[in-house]
Structures are given as structure tokens and as C-alpha cells.
Structure 1
Amino acid sequence: MSETTGESVWITGAGSGIGRAVALRFLRAGATVLASGRDPDPLQTLAADAGVAPESVAVHAVDVTDRAAVHQAVADMQVRAGPVDRVILNAGTYQPVEADSFDAAAFDRQFAVNVGGVVNCLEAIVPAMRARGAGQIALVGSLSGYRGLRRASAYGASKAAVMRIAESLRQDQAAAGIDVRLVSPGFVRTPLTDRNDFEMPFLVEAEDAAERIYRGLVHGRGFEIAFPRRLAWPVRLASMLPYGLYFSMMRRVTG
């Protein structure tokens, strides 16, 4: 028996990348996974890939930017699996913003998914957890949310917003018995980071990221799960530098 045997875990963006790897990790630990994503096809193979019974996975095809659809999906989940014990709000998107082609649409899309999608999911699930007086919610941010990076003006800003939401919710919901966590990955090999055309320092495989997230949520007590440490600590330190020193350092680092 595992610590998560019998639990129901809702994971958004479970069709690929970090979300899929986390879903597989919780399935192998005995949890029932409520897997959601825009495309239901990749979700259909989760149980087989994890080597568990098909009934261990409930597939919900939903776009997190559609508020009404999110509410309906959460209602369906609770009918199917009862109270949701853990929520991992992982659905996100990434598009670089180039200096010579500033694109407002890139901001619209990334904020709609990365921030609006999180808010829609929270609105749907928080009342039920408050009524029960229990539950865990993990918001997946990014180390890029700590400070502005080249080509990440949209993505980094959206993840900075996720960080602030998590920090506030941690305080607002603690008295109701809801454990709010923040997940701050560095570079993880996923279809999204495959879009990068530069060498990514301390690149982590999705399975490694999933293991770190699982251990942090199930066994850890701290607010933030940031990894890899070799990147997380320098990024945190950089966030405390005065602007002149920070910009000078980034010019040297990025060329």
C-alpha cells in the first residue's frame, strides 16, 4: 500500500510533458487519477502505460480556458470519484516573444492558459475543498517567474502571476484546511521546451521532474518545490540583485 492509495488526484495538462509524467507517477502509487486535457486521445493510454487497471483513470476532455467546461468537468469528477484529494494545476503553454516581432497575441494566449486556466480551475475546486475542510492544491509555476528573461516576457510574466496567486492562496486557505503548494521547475524536457533553440542548463527529464513533484507533495512540508537545485538557488539569488547588476550579469550569461 502507498501513501496515495485510494486518493483521487486531478491533474490538468495530463496528456504530455510534466503533467503526463506526474499522472503516471501517482497511478503507480495507487491513486485514482482524474486526467484532464484538451485532447482526450493521449489520456486514454495512461492506465496501460502505468500498468494499472483502466478504472484507475478518469479522462476529462476540457480546455482550462473554458470556465463553464471546467466547472462541469469538476462536477463530473466528484460524481465519478467522490471528493478530490489533490489537484495539480499543470496545464500551460509557452511561446517565445522575439525582440523584432513583439506579438500581443502571444501574451493573450499564454495569460489565458497559464493564468486564466489556473483561476478557472481554482474557482471550480476550492469551494468543495473548503466545505470538506481538506485538500491539497499545487500550482505549477516556473523558475522563469522569479525575474525577467530574454524572449520570456509573456511566459515569465504569466508564471510570476501564478507564483503570486499561490503565495496569497497559501495564506488565505490555510485556516480552511487546504494545503496550497507552488511547483517551480527549471528546464524540463517536454514538447514545449523542444521549441527552444538554445542550450538549456541543467535540463531535467520529465520522469525526474515527476518524481521530485510527487515526493514534495506527498512527503514534503515546504511551500515551494523548486528544482533542479543547481539552477533554483542561483535564480533565487539573482532575484535579489539590484537591476544594474542583474542586467549586466544577464548580458554576460546570454550574450
Structure 2
Amino acid sequence: MNNVKILVAVHKNYEMPQDTNTYIPVFVGKDLHPNVNNTFQGDNTGDNISGKNAHYNELTAIYWAWKNLETTDAIGLVHYRRYFTNGHKKTLDSILSQEDFQKLLKQAPIILPKKRCYYVESNYSHYIHAHHREPLDVTRNIIKKRYPRYLNAFEEVMNARSAHMFNMFVMEKKYFNKYCEWMFTVLKELEDCIDISTYDSYETRVFGFVSELLLDVWIKTNKVSFVETDYTFMEKQNWLEKGSKFLWRKIVNEKK
């Protein structure tokens, strides 16, 4: 793996890594916000779904790379405030380098962030307490009908209490292509099956939310080995606020 490219999904002006040989800032939803930033690579060149960013989140950057980034050995995605790191320092100096990624890819063809654990509930329970239940249930039906080979892994991931989240990964190009082909096909079928016209602006990001749980499903089904590494959220997080929101969503949704 001599050429690893890491997309940095960003939707506003923000400080970016200095290692431009490794990191590519991709302004997501560029079609929707054409005048916000003219420095970063837009997700609206070539074959793209930039116009769907309000519903697909950072997946518009992944789609852009899948269709347009050819000369690379491995492709990954991080976020402008969340990176793969050495330890947990909240500085761009701590993020992984080209050499770091190359070493990890010698161990396995996929690099993932360490799993996020929910402890008190399953991935499915956590999802439906935070979002509308229907899209995830429809996704299961799509997989059962169209991709039955993936159903057992889907059930395992839904029942587990941890997962590789945030759509963060680095993959050898051949695996990246195969994953994108499957994942975007499933999401397109989901898009055709559900009506999100009554969803609020947060919940309309549904396809990005669902995709976070599809990554482990794909890896389990295809039995692709992976290596985990640390990741860090670069800004201070208000854990009291996050915990309060989690409990509120859980209480409210359990009454539905």
C-alpha cells in the first residue's frame, strides 16, 4: 500500500491536516452550498450524489471517491472533527500519517476505529431510540429479500452492543469498491421504499445513519479481516448534555 488517500468530510471552513499527500478535504453537499468554500475538493465533480448530502451525510464524499478517485491503493474516510490517531490527543499532530496507515494495512486490508460500546442496549435498540424505526426495519426486509446472504450478519450486528461507527474506515481499493457497490445499492433501494417527506431536518439524514450499521454487516458476511486503531474527537464534548439527550430519546421513543 504505497498510496493511501484519506478523505476528510467537511461542510464548512475548518483547519485541515498539513499532510496533503495523504488527506483530501472534501466539501460535502457542495451542490447545496456552492459559495461556502472554494478551496476544498467538492463532492460535486464527475459522477456524484452531492445533491443528496442532506440525506446521505458524509456518504456523498465516499461516493465521489468511489466514482472519481482512481489512482490510489487504499481509500479511507475521517471527519473534520474526528480522526484516527496515535493516542487521544486532540491535535492534528496526533493523527495517523501515510506511514502509519501503510503499516496497519500490512496487518489487514481494512482499518477501523475501535468499537463504540453501548453496554445497556443493543445496536438496534440504540438506533430506534435515536431515530425513526421504519428505515432500519425496511433495510432488514430489503436484505432478507434481495441479499439473504447478509441476513445472519445483519441480525448479529443489530443484537450486538457495540459496532464500528461514524462511517470511519480505510480499505484497500478492491474492498472499498465492493463495499460501495453493495452499500449504495441497498441504500438506493431503501430510498425508493420509504417516504421521508414528514421527517425533520435531522431525521432526513437517515441514509447516513443506517449506513453506519451496514459496514459491520458487510465485513462479517464477506469475512474480511480488519485491524482497529484509536480515534479522537478533536473538540471538547459535553458528555452531560449527550447523556441527557440519550435518556430523553429513550424515554420518549419507548412511549411510541
Give the structure-1-normalised TM-score.
0.35
Structure number having the greater helix percentage: 1
Higher relative contact order (CA 8 A, sep 6+): 2
